[in-house]
Amino acid sequence: MPRPPDPGALERLKSAVGAGGWLEAPADIEPFLRDFRGLYRGASPLVLLPGGVDEVARVLAICNHEDIAVVPHGGNTGYCGAATPDESGTQIVLSLRRLNRIRRLDAANNSLIIEAGSTLAAAQAAARAAQRLFPLSLGSEGSAQIGGNLSTNAGGTAVLRYGMMRDLVLGLEVVLADGRVMSRLKSLRKDNAGYDVKSLFVGAEGTLGVITAASLKLFPLPTDSATALVGVKSPRHALRLFEHLRAAVGDLITSFELMPRRAVELTVRHIAGVANPLADAAPWYVLVEISSAADQGLPAQLASQLAAAGEAGAIDEAIIATSLAQAAAMWKLRESVPEAQRHHGASLKHDVSVPISAVPELIERGAELVRRLVPEGETLAYGHMGDGNLHFNVSRTGPDSPAFQARRESLQEAIFDLVGELGGSFSAEHGIGRLKAAELARRADPVELSVMRALKRALDPKGIMNPGKVLA
């Protein structure tokens, strides 16, 4: 069991990272104590900012020896509180932000070795500079860090085509809880040398070790693409459109995002520079993008497929972006929905996934649950329909209130039960962190949970790595 660090241990930790590698003044450490959503406010005696993997290794060796709990910290954009220390004031925060070098880009091998504290945007830019694509794409990519993307197994808007972060990893460098460094940074598509150990650290949210660098997969840079905003009558119509496009253009679909009218209205109202390019207010909207690394006349293809979908009654209206700026404006409309929801008022959030065929049923039955259990709320279910991941959120106009928050548990229980019934997951792309740790303990398959606990004991026998997260 971790215990409070004594002054001597704190001094040893500071000298392990050297001058400029630690913070302890209350004003300096404040930003590390709050999570992005403001759900948690922790305390910590020390924030460490190691400058290299050797320093991370020294820090963990000391913490393991002294039984000091460590909370790895990336860009602090997570939704489940995984990067925030608890309230005890005994946990050390380990920020990876100084590990931000690009170690190697091999264009011929389509791979990039990059350190964990680099932002996702920096990884994308490095790939682009070499005429390659690193496809993970999220609203917070300017501040989210690669280590956090890996540790939460981040998803985003291109999962349908390229997969989640786990699918984009070729190798990892990880510092284990006892300070040993696992250097498994090979950039191979085929490597069957034993168990897939690196995969354990993806989605582990810093509970098994600290990821310090990764070898990531790159792809050809798309040179042809088409983006459209489509108005549809219902999620069932959106599903018909999806099936139509899948049959017509197959794997060229990169993104297929669903939004209700209310989400579009709130975004136009609250976010400067956002407009709805469609003439009529549709009940639901789909943002679809198709792309290819070979010139295939995609705008014309998308136009003719949308026309066919219109004739078949799947869609009501559509506009295809005629410039990169117009496509970017459509993306801004979609990516600003969470911020618009924040401006609008309090919200109850559920990051869930179901098979795409069950998305309409989830929305219909979920909205019914909201009407029954949260009469003062309104459903705002939007997200990555193409991969079955919805942010089934409930908004309340105006400030938060104890009455609204008091509905949280019963609604969450009902939504997660519904998701389970539909063969889905109560945690799709935002992770478990502290927020959903109790749910995982209740909802995971008991045998799978016992395997997770056995892995935790094996890799972190003293329980110093991010205690209270994932496995409560």
Give the phi and the psi of residue 457 in degrees, each rounded to 5. -65, -40
CB of 453 to ligand 2HG, least distance (A): 28
- 404 neighbors 376 (Cβ within 8 angstroms): yes
Minimum CB distance to ligand 2HG smaller for 132 or for 396: 396
Taking the C-alpha atoms of residue 30 and residue 43, their distance in angstroms, rounded to an integer, is: 9
Minimum CB distance to ligand 2HG smaller for 105 or for 348: 348
Minimum CB distance to ligand 2HG smaller for 144 or for 414: 144
Q: Is 278 exposed, middle or buried (0-12, 13-18, 19+ CB in 10 A)?
A: middle
Minimum CB distance to ligand 2HG smaller for 268 or for 303: 268
CB of 148 to ligand 2HG, least distance (A): 13
CB of 422 to ligand 2HG, least distance (A): 19
Minimum CB distance to ligand 2HG smaller for 384 or for 456: 384
- According to DSSP, the β-strands at 389-395 and 351-353 are antiparallel
- 245 neighbors 386 (Cβ within 8 angstroms): no
Taking the C-alpha atoms of residue 346 and residue 113, their distance in angstroms, rounded to an integer, is: 40
Q: Which of 195, 168, 172, 191 is nearest to 183 (CA)?
A: 172
Taking the C-alpha atoms of residue 50 and residue 54, their distance in angstroms, rounded to an integer, is: 9
Taking the C-alpha atoms of residue 127 and residue 105, their distance in angstroms, rounded to an integer, is: 8
Contact residues for ligand 2HG (CB under 6 A)?
139, 337-338, 349, 383, 391, 393
The residue whose two tokens read 């696992």 is 182
Cα 32 to chain center, whole Å?
19
CB of 139 to ligand 2HG, least distance (A): 5
Minimum CB distance to ligand 2HG smaller for 213 or for 340: 340
Taking the C-alpha atoms of residue 169 and residue 111, their distance in angstroms, rounded to an integer, is: 9
CB of 320 to ligand 2HG, least distance (A): 23
Cα 44 to chain center, whole Å?
25
Q: Which tokens in the block code for residue 238? A: 């959106």
Minimum CB distance to ligand 2HG smaller for 66 or for 335: 335
Size of the chain, expressed as the number of residues it contains = 472
User: Closest residue (Cβ) to ligand 2HG?
Assistant: 338
CB of 391 to ligand 2HG, least distance (A): 4
Minimum CB distance to ligand 2HG smaller for 146 or for 287: 287
Q: Within a 13 Å sphere around the CA of 367, how many CA atoms are in the beta-carbon half?
A: 14
The residue whose two tokens read 């098994």 is 208
